[in-house]
Amino acid sequence: MVATVIDGKAVAQAIRSEISDEVRLLSQKYGKVPGLAVVIVGNRKDSQSYVSMKRKACAEVGIKSFDVDLPEQVSEADLVKQVHELNANPDVHGILVQLPLPKHINEEKVLTEISLEKDVDGFHPLNIGKLAMKGREPLFLPCTPKANPLDSENFCNGLDYVKKCVDFDQLLVTKSLLKLCEAASVGIYFTTCMQGCLELLHRNGVSIKGKKAVVVGRSNIVGLPVSMLLLKADATVTIVHSHTSDAERIIREADIVIAAAGQPKMIKGSWIKPGAAVIDVGTNAVDDPSKKSGYRLVGDVDFEEASQVAGWITPVPGGVGPMTVTMLLKNTLEGAKRILEQRS
């Protein structure tokens, strides 16, 4: 059996086309378009790359982009004030604050100040709490990461930050890694991944209800939220982590595998149930002297082996990564629709 390779780029482009059509309808009906604001603290090179990528993506679908650049020395109070102003701005329907923030600022404090209705990142404690509860629906689903090649200079700069967060369960906790994969540099948001994972399954005809799903990794950014999304979709969910006994056997029983451990090629082809759907969230740089950069990107799954056994599989890069910003745009659109409909 040779797996169907899930083309994240094609799926993302199809979704962006749908978003563009809906934005046009909103403009015709309300005279307004969705607005997405990104707050950046400091002058990190990778931050500017992210802003450029986000601005281009917004323009492609007709979403208005708001960029707030603040100095490295900005006080926590002034940053919170800026967030409050965006909360009150009727033209802004989604707010992102770039992480990491300077050490003198409490990230959790700042993030909880973002209006629940504009938390397009999906990580407000109330959104996560509703996601965890049966019969409750969060306003936004956490959207995640990684795809395209990156330049070596920015990779090395960002990797120093990433290394501080690394172990089997925690590598994917650092939101910096999204840039590493999505826009040829390191650093910003590990968002939209979970939503993108399920969207890839749905759009490739993979049913979730009643299936055995195994999530490899239990980070707050990917593993735990995606396991809750799968549970809401009526899958029977098991989480494999660094203290799990006989992980290989558990993974081999899965109809759906979500790999988010941050360990290059950890999951071998022999670990995959024939015909299973495999979504590889991992993006890992491994040495490759044949490449100009000196490295290449691989996932948590051994693609060459697993693709001979699985029914569906995402490549790295080009699988989950292209979905990240696209699902962020989709959340911004949904936020705008909700707000505009309430006001009409």
Q: Is the pLDDT of residue 140 over 60?
A: no
- Give tens-digit pLDDT for 31-44: 999 999 999 898 87
Give percent of the chain above pLDDT 90. Answer: 57
Kindly indicate whether the domain formed by 194-319 is annotated with CATH number 2.60.40.10: no
Contact 81, 105 (CB under 8 A): no
Report, as an integer, the average pLDDT of 296-317. 96
Among residues 98, 170, 195, 263, which one is catalytic?
98
Q: What is the mean pLDDT of the chain?
A: 82
Question: What pLDDT score was predicted for residue 224?
Answer: 85
Enumerate helices (H) and strands (E) in the chain, giving the number of each. 12, 11
Sorted by where each begins, the domain ranges of the chain are: 31-133+324-343, 194-319
| Confidence category of residue 149, pLDDT binned at 50, 70, 90 | very low
Query: Which pLDDT score is estimated for 188?
Result: 30
| Single-letter amino acid, residue 273 | K
- Measured from the Cβ of residue 222, the count of other Cβ atoms closer than 10 Å reads 30
pLDDT at 63 > cutoff 80: yes
List, for residues 266-304, the tens digit of each pLDDT value: 999 999 999 999 999 998 888 999 998 888 999 999 999
**Considering the entire predicted model, what is its pTM?**
0.79
For residues 186 and 140, which has the higher predicted lDDT (pLDDT)?
140
Q: Is 54 a residue of the active site?
A: yes
Angle between helix axes 323-343 and 45-61 (nearest 10 degrees) is: 60
Nearest to 143 by CA among 221, 82, 86: 221
Catalytic residue among 121, 255, 300, 302: 121
By the 8 A CB rule, do 212 and 254 touch? Answer: yes
Token look-up 């044949």 returns 290
Residue 58 scores a pLDDT above 60: yes
Mean pLDDT, residues 145-162 taken together: 33
Confidence of residue 250 (pLDDT cuts 50, 70, 90): very high
* pLDDT tens digits, 83-132: 999 999 999 999 988 877 899 999 889 989 999 889 887 766 676 676 66
195 is a catalytic site residue = no
What whole-number percentage of the chain has pLDDT above 70?
A: 78
Give 69-124 as a 3 state SS string.
Answer: EECCCCCHHHHHHHHHHHHHCCCCCEEEECCCCCCCCCHHHHHHCCCHHHCCCCCC
Tell me the two tokens of residue 196. 């993108």
Q: Is 121 a catalytic residue?
A: yes
- What is the model's pLDDT at position 159? 41
| Closest of 277, 258, 249 to residue 216, by C-alpha | 258
Cβ atoms of residues 158 and 206 within 8 Å: no
Same fold, 31-133+324-343 and 194-319: yes
Assess contact for 120 and 339: CB atoms under 8 A: no
Structure tokens, 99: 């992480």
Is the model's pLDDT at 147 over the cut of 50?
Answer: no
Given a contact cutoff of 8 angstroms between Cβ atoms, the answer to whether 66 and 19 are in contact is: no
Residue range 162-219, pLDDT digits in tens = 333 333 333 333 333 333 333 332 223 344 667 789 999 999 999 999 999 999 998 8
**Whole-number pLDDT of residue 304:** 97
Q: Which of 222, 232, 230 is nearest to 198 (CA)?
A: 230
**pLDDT score of 53:** 82
Query: In this structure, which CATH number among 3.90.580.10, 3.40.50.10860, 2.160.10.10, 3.40.50.620 belongs to the domain 31-133+324-343?
Result: 3.40.50.10860
Query: Between 311 and 136, where is the model more confident?
Result: 311
Beta bridge partners of 39: 68, 97
